[in-house]
Structure 1
Amino acid sequence: MFFSKRDLQFHLYEVLDSESLSQYEYFQDHNRESFDMVLDAAESIAVKMLHPLLTEMDRKEPQLVDGKIRIHEGMKAIIKKMGDDGWVNAAFRYDEGGQQLPITVLNAAGFIFQAANYSSSIFSFMSGGSANLIRTFGSQELIDRFTPNMYSGKWQGTMALTEPNAGSSLSDISTIAEPTDEAGVYKIKGQKIFISAGDHDACENVVHLMLAKIKGGPIGAKGISLFVVPQKRPENGELIDNDVITAGIFHKMGYKGAPIAHLSIGSNDGTLGYLVGEPHKGLNYMFQLMNEARIGVGLNATAIGTAAYHSSLAYAKERPQGRKISEKDPTKPQITIINHADVKRMLLFQKAVVEGSLGLLLFCSKLSDLILVETGEAKERAELLLDLLTPVGKSYPSEMCCLSTSAAVQVLGGSGYTTDFPVEQYYREARIHPIHEGTTAIHGLDLLGRKLTIHNGKAAQIFFEEVSKTMNEAAQIPALQPFVEKLQKYLAKAQQATGYLLGLAGKGEIEKYLADATLYLEMFGIITIAWQWLGQAIVAERKLAEAHDTDQNFYQGKLATLRYFYEYELVKVDSLVKRLQSTDSVTIEMQADWF
């Protein structure tokens, strides 16, 4: 199997108590039974429709034929199923045709889809994110005109940001919007690249949520506006060509089943775009989708890492190789490789990364739900904490699942390097996530340069309060006391490094302050996942005494992985802290000509 349903239920019900969301009026129609039905439905679709196409979609990648991208024929049925079953707008209100499903549960279902077949999972969830922008900031006319067909799967939704000379630096985009005589309608002209699902033949239309600058508007990021730019514009019950041309397709090392398009907009001066919200606020609007997508990217990486882990785990349990180090008799039968300490180390590494990451991302998902239903101080705390954890939730799983999928390949040895097993595909597919939705460096700058200091550091204060609350709870359990002490020790070191860096900022040494922001993000991520593992261990310790045999093994596995993370991963904070407080600024002083 490509994921553990038992582990997913552990996170949802035993650690996060997701059932408690039902006490809020917005979620009152849901309970454990309805949540399980959602997860069962997701598993059924994943097993019957998505996973069987995993290898095929990788081998038969999309092609641009006569100006149209052709994707795997199986995607038509999958996209229709997702639309028919209401997955696209499941979290939206009843009056919009949604199910008011908690984001926590929807993301758990999405995790199942992504673990089954990442490429096939992105189409519908991208449409949901794009439609959410229209419903949140768009006029009722735009909502009525575009979102119903996006919900049903007839129309694909995308986010169109990146341009040939403007990647992460969105202030440099050059796509132009020129007003027409009709209010809110603009002529759009420019190019967009790396547009996921930007064109394909499994739907009748593609609706781009596109960033552009209104002619004559403010310079830089302040001049960016958001537009709905359909591939075909609906008018009087018909779809009319909107001069959005697919100029090319990018062929990737992984994630091949989903097309990435190069779009040419307004080449014949015939592209109309419809303003979303107010002019020059496009970047603020888009950040809603980007922040949702960043948690989604972390979840995607975790799902791929999880699938790779379970594939290598199954192989290790079946593959005979060698004997125990202490066994010298060659006539004795070989043992399966899962009995070798180094293989167990690689499996523990994978388990620590993916199950720790899943815990963090579902915690972030629950914060999103609480933001929706809470008020006052509780709402503010959830908002600030989610804002702080978003760069961590995106980047730690993205970076570490590149390493964990590599470990999965290593467990299989030579077999892992062949296409006979899926781990080589998972290894390739994992690599996009440190790039998607802002590179790791961008998120390091965001965390250190902004998230820690805004609101007078209130978000960081809330984070440390939450970690302390978990440590205080764990301290009541004697078996967990050593781990509390270790986390306290490394938390203090991380705070010391933070103080040192903030001191540099206070002296105006901004380049030094931010030079190693990526390493700071790495350190913060390790601390965060250590906190998550301590929370999981609290539940495991309490449940262990009353657990039956199968659950005994499950909980013992959790506690062993806690030990592994604190022995092998948490200790990396030492070297990171040392580097962050070093006065050697080699990366700043290195000259381009010296390379």
Structure 2
Amino acid sequence: MANQFYSKRDLAFHLYEVLNAEQLTQFPYFQDHNRESFDMVLDAAGQIAGSLLKPLLTEMDRQEPQLVDGKIRVHPGLASIIRRFGEDGWINAPFSYEEGGQQLPATILNAATFIFGAANYSASVFPFLTTGAANLLRSFGSPELIDTFTPNMYAGRWQGTMALTEPDAGSSLSDITTTAEPTDQPGTYKIRGQKIYISAGDHDACENVVHLMLAKIKGGPVGAKGISLFAVPQKRPENGRLLVNDVLTAGVYHKMGYKGAPIAHLMVGSNDGCIGYLVGEPHKGLSYMFQMMNEARVGVGMNAVSIGTAAYYASLEYARERPQGRLIAEKDPSKPQVPIICHADVKRMLLFQKAVLEGSLGLLLQCSYYADLVHAAEGDEQENAALLLDLLTPIAKSYPSEMGCLTTSAAVQILGGAGYTTDFPVEQFYREARIHPIHEGTTGIHGLDLLGRKVIMQNGKAVTLLLAEIQKDIIATQASPEGSALSDQLSAALGILDNVTQHLLSVAPSDTEAFLADATLYLELFGIVVIAWQWLRQTIISQQALSDAHEDDRNFYQGKRMAARYFYEYELVKIHALSRRLLSADRVTVTMQNEWF
């Protein structure tokens, strides 16, 4: 197994040289923190990841959860891991001191989750699923609900989940059929239905599972307007005891990857005995749930980068150690073989991984920084950060997820036949990467969200703000020939993106289906441009730092500059083909008939 699974140096570069995350401490909510406390958090994450999570990476893949006598059994090491996250305060780290939290910025917490995910993605999801569920309760629940559920969730004794999906209502949440019927106790309902693909929906590493579940109150509005949010515990607390709550595990799905975390099929209220507790107001459940979903979408992008990064370092280590062949110009077979990293095509595959992953990490931490501004800033700064975060979230979720499938494939390719075996970890990373374009909204859903909602919200204000941010960085690079070359290409790319956007918006009034038919391709084009922007930012910093850097840092900054060049030469150029397709009047996917397949 590869020794390195992430770069502490690269993470520090993003946080402190590009983002200047220490600026967050100027806000009252974060004022007790500083660079030293941030580093302590990240060092603690690295220690836990290396000593507890990474050693179980392969075991959890090989010993996947099983349903035994109605209960999902997970790897026995998970109970102590989840409890450790609770004891060390990770689960409620971003919450206020009054709630026992640390008021930790999302930027730093998400950097820590990146480390955990790179060590062992399956193990890392349990505590932070609970964070998301607890955040919904603390945001919208009554004081009684908060007091009843969150202390045990924060401590890692109770698992939290998000229970949305049903057999005939995946992304189409307006079609859910799970029902809620009021009891004679205020705020208490009988819940009936079923939920599928519920991450950590049942397991034996915690004492209880608390589902934040969507259901429709009988007699409420039809469609999405009738959806309410409920806390539905597997065991309901009553008079100091935990009573069985008629949430039955009907099955556990066996997946191609991400095997250590169970995905459950739940039958709810089959025996007319499931009690749920209304969270917030009736019929506002979907708007509440979107808080958790949007947080989770940035998290999905980060998890994709985590897995891809672990695969990158595994393939890099192998490429440095594996001798094969000689340089193309070397004709003497008596000369020793060279490590495969000396071959240009292997360097291409390594650069591809580095460029995509480090560019994506920059975007995800940028989004995390905007989330902190939304939480802690005021006035225009807060409003603008919210708009930028809304606009970039579908990209931050989808680009790393889709490209992570390709970067992990490149890692397998570098190892050749060895990469296709279970003797090396890259085949596991390849399998685990594939879930991310699917969960928390498929790539197609996020394409529709970006083009159909985010681009046009507030008359395009978010796009205007983003372009202004990019233009500032373009201007900052004009002083150097290398920076100017990249900024010129990025300026041209912005022109292409604007041209495509205006064309599609002109189609929208007369033909909505044609307008949105290729929204996924538009998302891809937008994503490439945004990652190019991130590489311009990283190039500016690297150029400025090179003159005073010592040898190791010179190598680091030179690697950044070459990865930026690679992205512009190999990835940014793809927008020309995408724009040609998006500007075309040929609506082949719209006019294709079902019977012709």
CA distance in 1, matches of 2:39, 2:500: 44
1:493-536 Cα offsets, whole Å, 9 max, x none, are 11101110000013x21111000000000000000000000000
Pairing of 1:288-367 with structure 2 (within 5 A): 288-367=291-370
Map of 1:568 onto structure 2: 570
Code of the residue aligned with 2:137 in structure 1: it is I
| Alignment match of 1:250 (pick from 236, 249, 253) | 253
Code of the residue aligned with 2:552 in structure 1: it is T
Residue aligned with 2:584, SS:
coil
CA distance in 1, matches of 2:260, 2:459: 45
1:54-86 Cα offsets, whole Å, 9 max, x none, are 000000000000000000000011001000000
Matched, 1:480 2:483: yes
CA distance in 2, matches of 1:523, 1:65: 47
Residue aligned with 1:288, SS:
helix
Map of 2:592 onto structure 1: 590
Pairing of 1:541-556 with structure 2 (within 5 A): 541-556=543-558
Map of 2:137 onto structure 1: 134
| Alignment match of 1:277 (pick from 272, 276, 280) | 280
Map of 2:229 onto structure 1: 226
CA distance in 2, matches of 1:372, 1:219: 33
Code of the residue aligned with 1:580 in structure 2: it is L
Consecutive unaligned residues of structure 2, counting only runs of 5 or more, are none
Map of 1:174 onto structure 2: 177
Pairing of 1:109-148 with structure 2 (within 5 A): 109-148=112-151
Code of the residue aligned with 2:249 in structure 1: it is T
Consecutive unaligned residues of structure 1, counting only runs of 5 or more, are none
Map of 2:532 onto structure 1: 530
Residue aligned with 1:194, SS:
strand
Residue aligned with 1:571, SS:
helix
Code of the residue aligned with 1:248 in structure 2: it is G
Range moving further from structure 2, 475-484 or 322-331: 475-484
Map of 1:378 onto structure 2: 381
| Alignment match of 2:61 (pick from 51, 58, 63) | 58
Give the aligned length: 594
Residue aligned with 1:156, SS:
strand
CA distance in 2, matches of 1:8, 1:233: 42
| Alignment match of 2:98 (pick from 80, 91, 95) | 95
| Alignment match of 1:494 (pick from 494, 497, 500) | 497
Code of the residue aligned with 2:461 in structure 1: it is K
Code of the residue aligned with 1:320 in structure 2: it is P
Code of the residue aligned with 1:161 in structure 2: it is L
Map of 1:443 onto structure 2: 446
CA distance in 2, matches of 1:474, 1:213: 54
1:195-234 Cα offsets, whole Å, 9 max, x none, are 0000000011000000000000000000000000000000
Please give the TM-score of this superposition, normalised by the length of structure 2.
Answer: 0.99
Residue aligned with 2:427, SS:
helix
Residue aligned with 2:408, SS:
helix
CA distance in 1, matches of 2:480, 2:9: 24
Residue aligned with 2:169, SS:
coil
| Alignment match of 2:409 (pick from 398, 406, 411) | 406
1:337-359 Cα offsets, whole Å, 9 max, x none, are 00000000000000011100000
Map of 1:35 onto structure 2: 38
CA distance in 2, matches of 1:328, 1:477: 41
Pairing of 1:75-90 with structure 2 (within 5 A): 75-90=78-93
CA distance in 2, matches of 1:80, 1:206: 14
1:22-45 Cα offsets, whole Å, 9 max, x none, are 111111111111000000100000
Quote how far apart the aligned CAs of 1:478 are. Answer: 2.9
CA distance in 1, matches of 2:438, 2:376: 32
CA distance in 2, matches of 1:246, 1:388: 38
CA distance in 2, matches of 1:581, 1:285: 37
Map of 2:519 onto structure 1: 517
Range moving further from structure 2, 291-300 or 469-478: 469-478
1:112-148 Cα offsets, whole Å, 9 max, x none, are 0000000000000000000000000000000000000
Quote how far apart the aligned CAs of 1:477 are. Answer: 2.8
Quote how far apart the aligned CAs of 1:476 are. Answer: 2.6
CA distance in 1, matches of 2:353, 2:425: 16
CA distance in 2, matches of 1:380, 1:45: 36
CA distance in 1, matches of 2:274, 2:24: 45
Code of the residue aligned with 1:63 in structure 2: it is Q
Residue aligned with 2:248, SS:
strand
Pairing of 1:502-513 with structure 2 (within 5 A): 502-506=505-509, 508-513=510-515
Map of 1:152 onto structure 2: 155
Code of the residue aligned with 1:530 in structure 2: it is A
1:159-182 Cα offsets, whole Å, 9 max, x none, are 000000000000000000001111
Please give the TM-score of this superposition, normalised by the length of structure 1.
Answer: 1.00
Residue aligned with 1:444, SS:
helix
Code of the residue aligned with 2:529 in structure 1: it is I
1:532-561 Cα offsets, whole Å, 9 max, x none, are 000000000000000000000000000000
Residue aligned with 1:201, SS:
coil
CA distance in 2, matches of 1:474, 1:31: 30
1:425-479 Cα offsets, whole Å, 9 max, x none, are 0000000000010000000000000000111111111111111111111113332
| Alignment match of 1:236 (pick from 234, 239, 245) | 239
CA distance in 2, matches of 1:423, 1:201: 29
**What is the aligned-residue RMSD (CA, Å)?**
0.5
| Alignment match of 1:462 (pick from 465, 472, 484) | 465
CA distance in 1, matches of 2:479, 2:369: 26
Code of the residue aligned with 2:139 in structure 1: it is T
Residue aligned with 2:581, SS:
helix
Code of the residue aligned with 1:165 in structure 2: it is D
Matched, 1:70 2:73: yes
CA distance in 1, matches of 2:42, 2:227: 39
1:270-309 Cα offsets, whole Å, 9 max, x none, are 0000000000000000000000000000000000000000
Map of 2:581 onto structure 1: 579
Quote how far apart the aligned CAs of 1:490 are. Answer: 1.2
Range moving further from structure 2, 424-433 or 456-465: 456-465
Code of the residue aligned with 1:124 in structure 2: it is P
| Alignment match of 2:12 (pick from 9, 13, 20) | 9
Map of 2:541 onto structure 1: 539
Code of the residue aligned with 1:119 in structure 2: it is S
CA distance in 2, matches of 1:18, 1:452: 28
Residue aligned with 1:227, SS:
strand
Q: Which runs of 4+ in 1 moved over 2 A?
A: 476-479
CA distance in 2, matches of 1:318, 1:268: 60
Code of the residue aligned with 1:229 in structure 2: it is V
Map of 1:164 onto structure 2: 167
Matched, 1:212 2:215: yes
Code of the residue aligned with 1:208 in structure 2: it is H
CA distance in 2, matches of 1:241, 1:112: 37
CA distance in 2, matches of 1:206, 1:219: 29
CA distance in 1, matches of 2:480, 2:284: 51
CA distance in 2, matches of 1:90, 1:374: 19
Instruction: Quote the sequence identity (%).
Output: 69
CA distance in 2, matches of 1:219, 1:479: 58
Quote how far apart the aligned CAs of 1:248 are. Answer: 0.5
CA distance in 2, matches of 1:314, 1:251: 31
